[in-house]
Amino acid sequence: MASYLFIESQDPYEFRDTVFCSDLARRLADAGNHVTIFLVQNGVLPARAGVYSAVFSELAQAGVEILADDFSLRERGISSERLPSGVKPSALDFVIDRLAEGAKVIWH
């Protein structure tokens, strides 16, 4: 079982290719891999409870861990109470730890 870390910095409302990353993350999780999506910069914008919440819920149900950079959330005025279920705030240190552990990283 491999470990994958997707670092998503794009807003799916602005860039349509974020769907490809979500689909790939789901397929990797379905194949038994450990998959995490780390939302950073404008990638945290869809982390507000709302229309995109269903995508995050489906990914979480598929076993994908979804984290949102707490600094990026604060910069954009998004409180952790506004995050949908399945999305948790996290410090950027998480990325460094996963890199040190040898996770395969895809930055988008």
Q: Which two tokens stand for residue 5?
A: 């870390």
**DSSP letter, residue 40:** -
- Any idea where the domains of the chain sit in the sequence? 3-107
- Residue-averaged pLDDT of the chain: 89
Higher pLDDT, 74 or 1: 74
pLDDT given for residue 51 in this prediction:
63
pLDDT at 20 exceeding the cut of 90: no
List residues bridging with 6 in a β-sheet.
Answer: 37, 106
Does domain 3-107 match CATH 3.40.1260.10?
yes
How many whole angstroms separate alpha carbon 33 and alpha carbon 1?
A: 5
Q: How many CB atoms lie within 10 A of CB 63?
A: 15
DSSP strand E in 14-96: where?
A: 34-39, 65-69, 87-90
- pLDDT band at 10; cut points 50, 70, 90: confident
- pLDDT band at 46; cut points 50, 70, 90: confident
Q: In angstroms, how far is CA 52 from the centroid of its own chain?
A: 12
Nearest to 76 by CA among 45, 53, 39: 45
How many whole angstroms separate alpha carbon 108 and alpha carbon 101?
A: 20
This prediction has a pTM of 0.91
pLDDT tens track for 64-107: 999 999 999 999 999 988 888 889 999 999 999 999 999 999 88
Report the percent of the chain where pLDDT is more than 90.
59
